[in-house]
Amino acid sequence: QAASAAKAKPKSTAKAVPNVPQRPVTVAMAVDPVSLNPLEQRVTDTYSELRNIYDPLIDSDGKSKKLTPILAKSWKFIDPKTLQLTLRSGVKFSNGAAFTADDVVYTVKALLGKLPESKPALAAYLYPTLTDAVAVNATTVNLITSSPTPRLPIILPQLLIIPNNSLGAGSTLTTTPVGTGAYKFVSYTPQKELVLTAKSDYFLGKVLIPKVTFKTIPDVTSRLFSFSTGEVDLIYGLLPSQIRSLGGNPFVKVVSKPSTRMAAIWLDTLNVPALKKLKVRQALNYAIDRQGITKGLFQGQATPTNALAPTFFDPLDNKLKPYTYDPAKAKSLLKKAGFADGFDMTIMVPQARYILGVEAATAVASQLQAIGVNATIQEVSFADFAAKTAVRDIPEAFFGSYGSSGPDPLLLYNAVVRTGVGFSWYNNPTLDALLDKAQSAADEAVYSKALIDAEGIIYSQAPFIFLYANNITWGLDKRLAFKPNPIQVINLFKAKWIS
Amino acid sequence: MDFKKRGEMSDLIKTQAESSPLKSHGLRLYIARRLLQSLFVFFIVVTVIFVISRMAADPVATLLPPGATPIDRENLRQSLGLDKSLIDQYVIYLNNLIHGDFGISTLYNVPVLPLVLNRCVPTFALALFAILWASVLAIFLGVLASLRPGSIFDRILGGIVSIAQGTASFWLAVVLLYIFSVKFRIFPVTGNSEGLKSFVLPGISLGLAPFVAILRLTRSSMIETLKTGYIRNANSRGLKTTRVVINHAMRNIAEPILSYAGILFGGLASGAVITETIFAWPGIGQLSMQGISLGDYALVQAVTMLASLTVILLNLIVDLINLKLNPVAREKVKQYGKL
Amino acid sequence: MSAVSVKHLYVTLSSRNEAASIITDLSFNIASGKILGMVGESGCGKSTLALALCGLLPARTSLIEGSIKIGEEELVGMSPRKLRLIRGSKVAYIPQDPMAALNPTITIGAQLMEAPREHLNLSRKDSKKLALELLDLVQLPSSEKFLRKYPHELSGGMRQRIMIAIAMSCKPILIVADEPTTALDVTVQAEILRLFRKITSESGTAVIFVSHDLGVVSQISDEIAVIYAGEIVEYGSRKDVTHNPLHPYTYGLLSSVPELNDQDARWMAMPFIGGKPPDVYERPTGCRFAPRCSFRGIDDCESTHSELIELAPNHWARTKHPIKNNLIDLPRDLNQSYVEHSDANQSILRVSNLVKIYGAGALAHKAVDDVSLEISKGTTFGLIGESGSGKSSLASCILQLNGSYLGDITFEGKDISQGSTKDLRELRRRMQVVFQDSHNSMNSKMTIGKLIGEPLEIFGSDTPDQIEVRVKERLHAVGLNSQIMDRYPRQCSGGELQRACIARALILNPSLLICDEAVASLDVSNKAQILNLLREIQAVEGLTILFISHDFATINAVSDKIGVMKNGKMVEQGEPAEILLRPQHWYTKQLVASVPQLERVN
Amino acid sequence: MENFNSAMTEANISIKRRTRRRIISLWIGLSILFLFIVASILTFFLHKGAYEGNLMKTFLPPQWQSGGSNGHFLGTDELGRDLLSRIFYGIRESLLIGPISVILASILGLTFGLLSGYRGGWLDSLLMRITDGILSIPILLLAISVIGVIGASTLTLIVVLAISQWMSFVRLIRAEVIQLRQKQFILASRAIGANDWRIMFKHLLPHLIPSALVLATLSLPNVILLAAGLDFLGIGSTPPKPTLGGMISGGLKYLVNAPWMAIAPGLALMFLVVGINMVAESVREKLEQSA
Ligand SMILES: Nc1ncnc2c1ncn2[C@@H]1O[C@H](COP(=O)(O)OP(=O)(O)OP(=O)(O)O)[C@@H](O)[C@H]1O
Ligand SMILES: Nc1ncnc2c1ncn2[C@@H]1O[C@H](COP(=O)(O)OP(=O)(O)OP(=O)(O)O)[C@@H](O)[C@H]1O
Ligand SMILES: [Mg+2]
Ligand SMILES: [Mg+2]
């Protein structure tokens, strides 16, 4: 599994065109970083910004299982509950201190709330089985879990390493971050900008962009305006219609990439009599015109799906026959299930959270009405949405778009279909058993088989109305070479101006 | 016709000598009274906000991340004192406020008070800009219109003002942005880093509502003032219109306009929430919008409290300024310690 | 040459959709240093004339024709700009209410210096010097400290002096004073009148003194113009007009000025001119006074409009039938004299050592200070005193409308101070009040009928029909037509309304009626009629009345006993004749001396 | 005399003209409102267009522009819903919520203002401090706090809007009552034995109605704009009810490609407010004149 760092290094610098002057880059963000302490956040945008200051032990490309060594050179399980990582040496924090195993141990302890007078950090919920870290020597560290967690490395990219003893009394880490990353912190003005400069001695190679500014622009229209006027060089989360408006602009390039978020309607199969019936759930799936939504509403910037996980996740069964748009069939299924006259179904949807989420839910509701289901939507603020789903106070259904925290379908299934977990309104012992099996399977084949079986069950039992996977649309200055990443992480280390 | 000189003079002396019992400390008494009053008003605000915050079905749910367990919830419930009686909660809440503890921002995970205070300056700068142009222009135009109510100028202005009132500021903001920043590239789209240029568009959108309000107020109070006996009498002395307006009438419309300052500021604070979000202005308006959409209620409550505290203080200051401007009221205060 | 000359002046004002000729064919002259008194009833166009003379009528809604010459300047047709320069410098205006006319937020010094700086281009220093001289002129302390005072720090009389000083500041040719003393107490009024006389004779400024009170005008004027329905009906020297009135209207005005020394006033009907001046839109084509004139019908005066004729040297009148000199001995309608009601010894109300304090602590203010009085059944007690002397406070204490007080009030043998709610209700039935301002004391949103019937609704168990019958009876008793029941207060004249107020107060048949300045805001003829009515009702029903007024003549005409109040204290009490002829207290003496009176020929 | 007459007519005309102007503006305002009311009534027959989109017909421009479709006069939105029908719905929403909350506010304001002004004393002081307090809270923040906590619904919205306005009613009514209280007719009513209730509701109330009416007409546009602001922020009426504010906020996202989506509801809102204003001003002038 371990890859060599030496291989990545020449690759990134070799293509650099030396005589193009490198200018600063400004990136438009929708919200401020939630915290400058990487452990105290759980937001992709914040992670994105801090990723440029801090490094994880291991990185991922966001879509495949391929992992890249960063601060760790290599890793292996020395027993099912202990992951041993060998760290790179000669790495320095931006304050000059050398990076050692103690930093990793400190980071983990801070994350888990094991430092004196500390409580678990906000990001701790990502690592439910992680219990401790132990330094073996200066370049070796053991991560210890409470139960076997073979896929622990896949979620380690989320863990950004902070320097030893950097928190606690008199800590300045939250105001002046210090990391091993490609960029050094310069200043942060809340609701305005976060400014970084290139580090001269980054251990993975030369950093080309001299200065990066993350500018906070909350309003989606203003964000587009500031991009189209050249105030910012890089923007993401453009609406499909905005892509067209940038069409005539010769200075910009628009890139649409499938994201890991899969939009679906969660159905309360536990409490709603109608939704307890498989035929009803299938009928609902046949009632949706996915093509209409992806073509009309998303202008092609989305793909219809029949699964929870993105197509590029592995392992995934790509041979499943999709639910077609067939209102007649849907009606007859409803009739067979004894709901010929339909039933009431309120769909809760959070505002201003998912791209065109409310609009899509509205479209779904009207398509369900067409087969006789009395579907209405209930818009709530995202905060309300989070609160209501947390206390499991939902109407018959809600619209959600769940992104996996790593490129592993199991992470997703564990979070949304396993009986009794936070985001699941479904109860299926067979499925749970399959997930358990995959969870502790050290053997890749067993793991794949279990997941593919699970996917089949999810598909045929339809505890969701599957909808679509929408693209994330990036806008960037044509002269900027930057490769957008499917989980929306903006790591500018390898970006450069090419003309 | 035999007049007693004594009687006549005694009348004169009486009115002069009728000195007030409180003259020396009436003003101090009044200020103390108003201060206490303001404090009480703020206490009411604080109470209202407390009541609102406890109206939630489950205040805890909004304060925790989605992955939170029931145990987390119970812990938070206890740490907030939500397991105690409402009265106890209220006492705890007041006690915290007195110690400057406005709660923890769930979004930023830091105490809200310093967070909010740190971001006041840009908001105040923008508000000041907005109120300056709005009031100067509005008072000027309002006075002009009031001199000849019903004239063509007055009617055209009335029409413009009516349309301006009907123009939703959020709508105007984006349309202005599109025209002046995107099409003509005169002003920056966002932020406050380009000096005065940055202030123009957000300033216009934020100042529109106060402009309409002040203009209407100026016009109507000026028309009223111009009807009073002393203005007509000033005319009977053959004074120039400009002199009558500036020396006599302006002074008298200062009071209603100033008294409106508190309400205006409240309006600006409301407007800032929308304007700052659209123009990415780094102030408390945008902060509270963020708090709203991400469910950071402690943050929103702190902003609300600070904004209303400002309004209350503003009202206090305005009352004192009005005392300075209005000798009748001043005399009354000096005598009785109240109005 | 005369300072001011007005020839064939027509003033037309427009309002709503109609043009109203307020003033028609008015001519007069005034020599410098002289005072022309302009007298007439309310609505005759006096104020309109005053404003026209100062060029203060709004240009857009008024039309002035004829000629107004002030010094050399012709005002009619002058451009607004030039008119402005004339105002304040050549012609000055003094309004009725000096409080409303002074800007409360500016020192009187600044207001005094404004006009000189505008018109005479004086420097700050010079204008201040002038201001101090002006203060001296109007007999106010001429100190810089005084200049820094604000209007509210001055008494009403002082404010009117300031207004005079402002008017005099540019040494104008003409001062137009529109009822400048109406809002003042008699004693202060006397001082102001003296000041006017002094200033005009010293400075040579001509004055037009507008008033509805012939008594006042006859004290101050050199010449008098009697104005009726927008035209002058009589014009001559003071002596000619007051001693030999030629026009029936002048005659009527003269006879309705009460005479203080009249021992029989209490028992005699007061003379009055019936009716009221015609509406501007409905002026008769013939003699405008004809419908109210007791001499009408003698000739064609009802159809032809008479010119102003010089009937005697320098004495003009608009009539072909001047009243003969021998008629001047004022006739009284003796048919209507009143009988004294008997039970004079039985006391109905006794107030002993009443003290009313407003406010508390350092702010306490004694409005009524140790007042005692007693009223016998069926008699009238007249309470007189200057404004603020505590008359109304005393009355509302008696009415139990004024919160707590010290002292005892016994009414119909019962101590009413410690009454229960039920006793209070009973008291309301037995004791009623009529206030000064009838427009203000009637709820403008209810009809007269409802208002008068309201006490019955509150107290009685009468059906609506019964109430209506009783209301009609009462209306009849106060001389009103029952048609008025459906009207709203604003649709009634002041006199009608005051009658309605009386009807309302009397509908429960109370035994005591308190009239707080009940006739103060009415014009002479209405005043006379209401006083006659009250006395008639008293004679018929044996009503006891506490009559409050600041006007000695009125009090004299109605009271069996008079009490004089000053600064909350009752300074003197006694029979009217006693008080008038032999006042004891210095204040009473001053009061009696200040009453403006006609010099009458014997 | 010739001169006189022409001058006179001129003077008359200026007054006549003013009255006529008032009547004209009243009629313009009323016609705007009438059209809007008709539009709101039409919505009862339009359900489909406003709620149900045709995903194949999204972002159609207005009919008169190239690419416009015949069925959709003002074009369609991102879900292919007819913009005109949605605007009609939005107007209906404004015309329902605005007046209801203003009526609620005036009833509350009249009651409390009357009590406070007539009774005076501690009750008055307390009520005044409470109004001071609530007035000092920026209205949008107050609305956000309340709606954020108890959730958005039409009822909440109406209550919040009423809360935002009733303070001004209390203040106005109270000030007026205090003035009226000093008038002699109140003393006169007490003198004839009327009790407090009678004085408050029979004598005072009729005097307060006109100014309450004026304030109501003046605050109606404010309420409608505030509701639009809340809808703009997404915390007003419960979606998917089309609201003008909501449509503006949705439309602004597409300002560059589909400007009609933001401009049309913005103009509708403007006309609505201007129309109400015109009527309000005429009513106010009329009432002031007759007072
Ligand atoms: N603009 C106008 N249009 C029509 N009639 C008017 C106008 N202004 C005043 N009047 C009428 O003109 C008449 C004269 O009014 P004016 O005020 O001059 O009378 P006055 O003699 O001063 O009365 P008072 O003693 O009450 O002051 C009144 O009947 C009044 O109603
Ligand atoms: N409610 C009150 N509170 C405080 N002071 C009052 C009140 N009513 C009257 N006063 C004061 O009491 C004094 C007597 O007033 P009152 O009204 O009894 O006088 P008045 O003789 O009736 O005067 P007028 O002739 O002006 O009616 C005045 O100085 C007045 O300012
Ligand atoms: Mg007059
Ligand atoms: Mg009085």
- Residue C99 C-alpha to ligand 4 middle, in angstroms? 18
Arithmetic mean of pLDDT over chain A: 86
Structural tokens at position A162: 């902070």
Mean pLDDT of A391-395: 84
A232-A233-A234 Cα angle (round to 5): 100
CB contact under 8 A, D55 and A241: no
Name every chain B residue with its beta carbon within 8 A of the beta carbon of D18: 150
Rounded to a whole number of angstroms, the distance between the first and last alpha carbons of chain D is 36
Minimal Cα–Cα distance from C63 to chain D, Å?
7
pLDDT band (50, 70, 90) for residue B59: low
CB contact under 8 A, C63 and D198: no
Q: Is the pLDDT of residue D74 over 90?
A: no
Q: Tally the C-alpha atoms within 13 A of residue A217's C-alpha that lie toward its C-beta.
A: 28
Residue B58 CB neighbour total at 10 angstroms: 15
Mean pLDDT of B148-175: 88
Q: Ligand 2 atom closest to Cα of C359?
A: 4
List the single best residue of A219, A232, A384, A404 to mutate versus B (max B Cβ within 10 A): A219
Tell which residue, C70, C191, C43, has the closest CA to residue C526: C43
Q: Is the pLDDT of residue D233 over 70?
A: yes
D280 → chain B, closest CA residue:
B162
Distance of CA D21 to the CA centre of its chain: 23
The mean-pLDDT minimum among A419-433, C333-347, D183-197 falls in C333-347
Phi, psi of C226, rounded to the nearest 5 degrees: -95, 125
The mean-pLDDT minimum among C325-329, C408-412, C426-430 falls in C325-329
Mean pLDDT of A139-144: 94
Query: pTM value?
Result: 0.83
Residues A183 and A166: their CA atoms lie apart, in Å, by 18
Residues A40 and C552: their CA atoms lie apart, in Å, by 90
Residues A487 and A62: their CA atoms lie apart, in Å, by 6
Distances (CA, A) of A148 to A412, A438, C290: 18, 11, 121
Structural tokens at position D261: 């989506």
Residues A37 and A47: their CA atoms lie apart, in Å, by 10
Where is pLDDT greater, at B164 or A6? B164
pLDDT tens per residue across span C525-559: 788 888 888 888 888 888 999 999 988 888 888 89
Arithmetic mean of pLDDT over chain C: 86
Nearest CA to ligand 1 atom 26: C42
Express as a percent the part of chain D with pLDDT over 90.
24
Show the ligand 2 pocket: residues with CB < 6 angstroms.
Answer: C 358, 365, 367, 385, 387-393, 550
Mean pLDDT of A132-161: 91
Tell which residue, A499, A492, A439, A494, has the closest CA to residue A196: A492
Instruction: Write down which chains contact chain B via at least 3 CB pairs under 8 A.
Output: A, C, D
Q: Tally the C-alpha atoms within 13 A of residue A283's C-alpha that lie toward its C-beta.
A: 28
**What residues form DSSP beta bridges with A69?**
A58
pLDDT of residue A234: 93
Helices D260-290 and D244-252 cross at an angle (nearest 10°) of: 150
Residue showing tokens 């880093």: B193
Which ligand is the nearest neighbour of the Cα of C550?
2
Tell me, using a 6 A CB cutoff, whether residue C48 lines ligand 1.
yes
pLDDT band (50, 70, 90) for residue A136: very high
Residues B266 and B307: their CA atoms lie apart, in Å, by 7
Express as a percent the part of chain A with pLDDT over 70.
96
CB contact under 8 A, C589 and B239: no
pLDDT tens per residue across span C499-513: 999 999 999 889 999
pLDDT tens per residue across span B110-139: 788 888 888 888 999 999 999 999 999 999
Eight-state DSSP code of residue D238: P
Arithmetic mean of pLDDT over chain D: 83
Where is pLDDT greater, at C345 or A408? A408
pLDDT of residue A125: 73
The region, left, alpha or beta by phi > 0 then psi within -120 to 50, assigned to residue C597 is beta
Q: Ligand 2 atom closest to Cα of C565?
A: 21
- Residue C435 C-alpha to ligand 2 middle, in angstroms? 14
Where is pLDDT greater, at B9 or D183? D183
Q: Ligand 1 atom closest to Cα of C210?
A: 22
Kindly state whether C17 is in contact with chain D, defined as any CB-CB distance less than 8 angstroms: yes
Where is pLDDT greater, at C552 or B21? C552
Kindly state whether C443 is in contact with chain D, defined as any CB-CB distance less than 8 angstroms: yes
Nearest CA to ligand 1 atom 24: C42
- Spell C261-280 as b/e; 16+ CB within 10 A means b: eeeebbebbbbbbeebbbeb
Express as a percent the part of chain C with pLDDT over 90.
38
Kindly state whether D255 is in contact with chain A, defined as any CB-CB distance less than 8 angstroms: yes
Structural tokens at position C97: 């209410």
Q: Is the pLDDT of residue B266 over 90?
A: no
pLDDT of residue A265: 94
Q: Is the pLDDT of residue A90 over 70?
A: yes
**What residues form DSSP beta bridges with C384?**
C549, C564
pLDDT of residue D7: 42
pLDDT of residue C537: 86
pLDDT band (50, 70, 90) for residue D44: confident
Mean pLDDT of B180-195: 83
The region, left, alpha or beta by phi > 0 then psi within -120 to 50, assigned to residue C173 is alpha
Spell out the residues 6+ positions from residue C432 whose beta carbon is closer than 8 angstroms to its own.
Answer: C505, C506, C508, C510, C512, C513, C514, D191, D192
Where is pLDDT greater, at B276 or C96? B276
Rounded to a whole number of angstroms, the distance between the first and last alpha carbons of chain C is 36
Name every chain A residue with its beta carbon within 8 A of the beta carbon of B185: 229
Minimal Cα–Cα distance from D205 to chain C, Å?
10
Q: Is the pLDDT of residue C327 over 50?
A: no
Tell which residue, B130, B77, B106, B125, has the closest CA to residue B271: B130
Name every chain C residue with its beta carbon within 8 A of the beta carbon of D4: 10, 12, 63, 65
pLDDT of residue B17: 37
Kindly state whether B174 is in contact with chain D, defined as any CB-CB distance less than 8 angstroms: yes
Structural tokens at position D287: 């009432």
pLDDT of residue B3: 34
Torsional sign, CA C525, C527, C530, C533: negative
Kindly state whether C15 is in contact with chain D, defined as any CB-CB distance less than 8 angstroms: yes
**Number of A–D residue contacts, CB under 8 Å:** 76
pLDDT band (50, 70, 90) for residue A92: very high
Residues B132 and B128: their CA atoms lie apart, in Å, by 6
**What residues form DSSP beta bridges with A304?**
A468
A383-A385-A391 Cα angle (round to 5): 105
pLDDT band (50, 70, 90) for residue D218: confident
pLDDT tens per residue across span B223-265: 888 888 888 888 888 888 888 888 888 888 888 888 888 888 8
Minimal Cα–Cα distance from B19 to chain C, Å?
10
- Residue A193 C-alpha to ligand 4 middle, in angstroms? 71
Express as a percent the part of chain D with pLDDT over 70.
89
Residue A77 CB neighbour total at 10 angstroms: 17
Kindly state whether D20 is in contact with chain B, defined as any CB-CB distance less than 8 angstroms: no
Is residue B278 within 8 Å of B174, Cβ to Cβ? yes
Residues C69 and D104: their CA atoms lie apart, in Å, by 62
Q: Which amino acid is at B311?
A: V
pLDDT of residue A6: 41
Q: Is the pLDDT of residue A450 over 70?
A: yes
Q: Identify the H or E element spanning C121.
A: none
The mean-pLDDT minimum among B212-216, B316-320, C60-64 falls in C60-64
CB-neighbour burial class of residue C600 (10 A; exposed 0-12, middle 13-18, buried 19+): middle
pLDDT tens per residue across span D51-73: 667 777 777 888 887 777 777 88
Where is pLDDT greater, at C404 or C18? C404
Mean pLDDT of B9-13: 39
pLDDT of residue A107: 94
pLDDT of residue C205: 93
Where is pLDDT greater, at A64 or C600? A64
Spell out the residues 6+ positions from residue B96 whose beta carbon is closer than 8 angstroms to its own.
Answer: B102, B103
What length does chain C have? 602
Minimal Cα–Cα distance from D129 to chain C, Å?
23
pLDDT of residue A1: 39
Arithmetic mean of pLDDT over chain B: 82
pLDDT tens per residue across span C292-312: 887 776 677 778 888 888 888
pLDDT of residue D11: 45
Minimal Cα–Cα distance from C428 to chain D, Å?
6
pLDDT of residue D5: 43
Q: Is the pLDDT of residue A61 over 90?
A: no
pLDDT of residue A7: 42
Instruction: Write down which chains contact chain C via at least 3 CB pairs under 8 A.
Output: B, D
Mean pLDDT of B188-214: 88
Residues C174 and C94: their CA atoms lie apart, in Å, by 11
Mean pLDDT of D88-112: 92
Spell out the residues 6+ positions from residue C25 whose beta carbon is closer than 8 angstroms to its own.
Answer: C8, C9, C10, C66, C231
